[in-house]
Structure 1
Amino acid sequence: MENGRAYHAFKAGCKYPCARARTERSYILPNDELYICPAGKGSHQIHRCLDAGCGTGIWAMDFADEHPEAHVIGVDLSPIQPSFVPPNVTFYVDDLEAEWTYNQPFDFVYTRMMSASIADWPKLFGQVFENLSPGGWIELLDPVSPIYCDDGTLPKDSAIYRWSNLLAEAAAKLGSRLDSGLTYKDQLLDAGFTNVVQTTYKWPINAWPKDPKHKELGAWSYENTMQALQAISLALFTRALNWTVDELELFLVEVRKDLRN
């Protein structure tokens, strides 16, 4: 427990608390599918899939329902997954940055929202490469912070812009980056991967877009962020930036106002 929040007991030091309701809609994609790479499509078959950093397990379970022929393994630092799961799903508490000891390769490795959780991405990509079957795929989905507006209209003195930059600064002081996604392509190529494709999507923070898909994505993003704002910020601001909880709470009042705007 720290500042009223529970953090992982296994491999202590995580920057984000254990929360069963966290990012339940984190896999909403522009194509309305669970993933976008060619894994399991055409002649490629998925017999074993790894959800690396599975959180509540919702993606792993949905994927297992969609691919009953595959054995899906979900790994996370915290045992917050449900006990009743599809028969082809297995969850483990483990550290992805430790030495991998899987006795069979995977055909597909999927990870999302993990940019600040991994200290050494090149090492992780090397382990994924060594544990993929020939023709296997890895897919990563991560937002890039600090946030910005594509038309340049986000004021630099706004609370949400300052929050986003302070969050990135704090993560860097604790040994991780919130813009890791910008380096994935080069690191994957260095690890030996081929056919590496990087796709950039807009991720609205509110339901203001006119495009229906972006409006839906923004609505879910808004709800997730409003619910998780303190959880996202607490350890980073208090550990790395030496803010008090009261200082942070006052600041987050202004950030929430910006999110509603």
Structure 2
Amino acid sequence: MQHEICNVTFHGKLGFAPPCDEDAKVGRVLDLGTGTGLWAIDYGDYHPETEVLGVDLSPIQPQDVPPNVRFEVDDVEEDWLYSRPFNYIHLRFMNGSLVNWKKLITKAYNNLVPGGYFEIQDNDFVFTSDDSTLPPEQPLAEFGQLIREAVERFGSAFVPCPELKNLMVDVGFEDVILEKFKWPSNPWPKDDHHKRIGQWNFHNFADAAEALALAPLTRAHGWTKEEVQVFLVGVRKDMRNPKIHSYMPIYNIVGRKPMKEDTPAPPQDTAQGQDIVPAANAAAAPGLSAH
């Protein structure tokens, strides 16, 4: 369902990098963490001249795919052994599942042709509001905090997406642009576009909440399954409450590898640290109005 919500959020666009333009002619595309493969399949349908490769740890992709699309089981945090570079590398919703973002961004940089694009579509797993209707002590806000803490205890981290922009610049990408979007928790917004996103997002979250929460809260925080279920009652109550104008920020980050490199990116095995510095202001999403 997340793929459909992204389609609504981005007004039918698969991404904002030039290779996603309708008339773009692209040679090779890599989709990292492809999941069910829907993004890769759609891209292959829209760009039949392109060779599309989707990689993921789980072989859950369909067998019936366009002839220019293929999938491989691979760990993107291991060394990349591709024989030829790509024109466009895409990544969606991997924040919290990676140990070292800078190392991955460096590998993307090193596996692009000069002038190639890298695009990240992701979130920080933060629930917030612009009008203080979701204070930090509310179960929904607390849920986001608990999940982020659990991920860190498991050895990964939710890196704030504006800081991912800084990492891309540090590695060598140029013209890096970050845009912020909003996924309302339910159909509380007044405008039809965000109301529709809220409808999709509520059902997506309601269906996935227990599966999403169970391992982090029991293994990292020591809760019982019953305690998780009781806590989720309050989370879902917040999620459906139209008086709580909550949303999850979603970010799109695009950068281009220079046509001519002045300073090559560091080798993959030396890009160890996150090297995160305070981010410049992100492009703000438009404000949401309630009923």
Q: Classify the TM-score, shorter chain.
A: 0.7 to 0.9
Consecutive unaligned residues in structure 2, runs of 5 or more: 242-291
**Distance in 1 of aligned mates of 2:158 and 2:195:** 24
Q: Against the structure 1 CA distance between its residues 48 and 194, is the aligned structure 2 distance closer, same or farther, given a 3 Å change threshold?
A: same
**Distance in 1 of aligned mates of 2:125 and 2:87:** 30
Q: 1:87 aligns with which of 61, 67, 77?
A: 67
Deviations along 1:105-143, whole A, 9 cap, x unmatched? 111111111101111000001100010011110111112
Verify: 1:74 aligned to 2:78, yes or no: no
Secondary structure at the counterpart of residue 109 of structure 1: strand
Q: Against the structure 1 CA distance between its residues 26 and 50, is the aligned structure 2 distance closer, same or farther, given a 3 Å change threshold?
A: farther
Match for residue 128 of structure 2?
148
Percent of residue pairs bearing the same amino acid type: 42
RMSD over aligned CA atoms reads 1.7
Matches for 1:114-153 after TM superposition, within 5 Å: 114-153=94-133
Contact between 2:22 and 2:46, CA under 8 Å: does it hold in 1? no
Match for residue 165 of structure 1?
145
Consecutive unaligned residues in structure 1, runs of 5 or more: 1-21
Verify: 1:27 aligned to 2:6, yes or no: yes
Instruction: For CA contacts below 8 A with separation 6 or more, give which structure has more relative contact order.
Output: 2
Contact between 1:144 and 1:182, CA under 8 Å: does it hold in 2? no
Query: What one-letter code is carried by the residue in structure 1 that aligns with 2:45?
Result: D
Match for residue 288 of structure 2?
none
**Distance in 2 of aligned mates of 1:107 and 1:186:** 22
Contact between 1:145 and 1:179, CA under 8 Å: does it hold in 2? no
**Distance in 1 of aligned mates of 2:24 and 2:45:** 18
Deviating more after overlay: 66-75 vs 32-41:
32-41
Match for residue 6 of structure 1?
none
Q: Against the structure 1 CA distance between its residues 26 and 106, is the aligned structure 2 distance closer, same or farther, given a 3 Å change threshold?
A: farther
Contact between 1:110 and 1:139, CA under 8 Å: does it hold in 2? yes
Match for residue 47 of structure 1?
27
**Distance in 2 of aligned mates of 1:49 and 1:244:** 43
Contact between 1:111 and 1:141, CA under 8 Å: does it hold in 2? yes
Deviating more after overlay: 198-207 vs 176-185:
176-185
**Distance in 1 of aligned mates of 2:183 and 2:73:** 30
Match for residue 59 of structure 1?
39
**Distance in 2 of aligned mates of 1:172 and 1:146:** 15
**Distance in 2 of aligned mates of 1:104 and 1:26:** 33
Length-normalised TM-score, structure 1: 0.87
More strand by share: 2
**Distance in 1 of aligned mates of 2:106 and 2:189:** 39
Number of residue pairs aligned between Structure 1 and Structure 2: 240
Contact between 1:45 and 1:107, CA under 8 Å: does it hold in 2? no
